[in-house]
Amino acid sequence: MNQSTKHANVTDLASAPWHDDIFAALKKAKVRQVPYVPDAGHARLIERVHADPEMRGIVLTTEEEGVAVACGAWLGGERAVLLLQSSGVGNCINMLSLVGNCRFPFLALVTMRGEWAEFNPWQVPMARATQGTLELMGVTVLRVDKAEDVGETVSAALDSAFNSDQAVAVLLSQRLIGRKSWTR
């Protein structure tokens, strides 16, 4: 890498135990498909999904594909949970109408950007709009700011989605996921 090339660094993400709490909740709820757009905030969880022979990690080119994958998984008799970053929520608006109109159970785990200690001003507008956007589309929004609350919140969201046919999103705050910074 040359001196002028920059890359993103995320503080303490690889060792965060809350990723393992999410994975355990997904396993307990028999989630088999996990569509995602690659994201450092979900990196450990994505690694765990790919390492598990009972789960299938599905790399997406855009977030709205994940909404369709989750709906298709349900039609095929399986459970799916979409992983995305807050900046991708806006890409899902039209597809969330599929979830609402067809009453599909739906769960998205959203890593937040544009909040605490954000260095990239392009992340801020969607961070401000994420919760309201989801709620306007009929999605129940739960937010987690503390690692000790992650497992219980995701478990409750899984119950709401798959036992009550609700659309739910869990927002994993930027303070929880860790500070991102650009380094040389």
Do residues 37 and 85 make contact, with C-beta atoms less than 8 angstroms apart?
Answer: yes
CA pair distance 158, 11, nearest whole angstrom: 28
The answer to whether residue 42 scores a pLDDT higher than 50 is yes
The pLDDT assigned to 145 comes to 95
Fold category of 7-183 in CATH: Rossmann fold (3.40.50)
**Domain definitions of the chain by residue range:** 7-183
pLDDT band of residue 122 (cuts 50, 70, 90) is confident
Residue 74 dihedral angles phi and psi, to the nearest 5°: -60, -45
Q: For residue 8, give the 3-state DSSP assignment.
A: strand
Percentage, residues of the chain above pLDDT 70: 86
**Among 37, 82, 92, 86, which residue's Cα sits nearest to residue 60?**
37
The pLDDT assigned to 91 comes to 93
Query: Which residue matches tokens 């929004």?
Result: 141
CA pair distance 126, 86, nearest whole angstrom: 7
The pLDDT assigned to 8 comes to 45
Mean pLDDT within 108-133:
82
Query: Which residue matches tokens 């992650």?
Result: 150
Reported as a single tens digit per residue, the pLDDT across 45-102 is: 999 999 999 999 999 999 999 999 999 999 999 999 999 999 999 999 999 999 999 9
Do residues 178 and 115 make contact, with C-beta atoms less than 8 angstroms apart?
Answer: no
Do residues 175 and 149 make contact, with C-beta atoms less than 8 angstroms apart?
Answer: no
Which residues, listed in sequence order, are joined to residue 10 by a DSSP beta bridge?
180
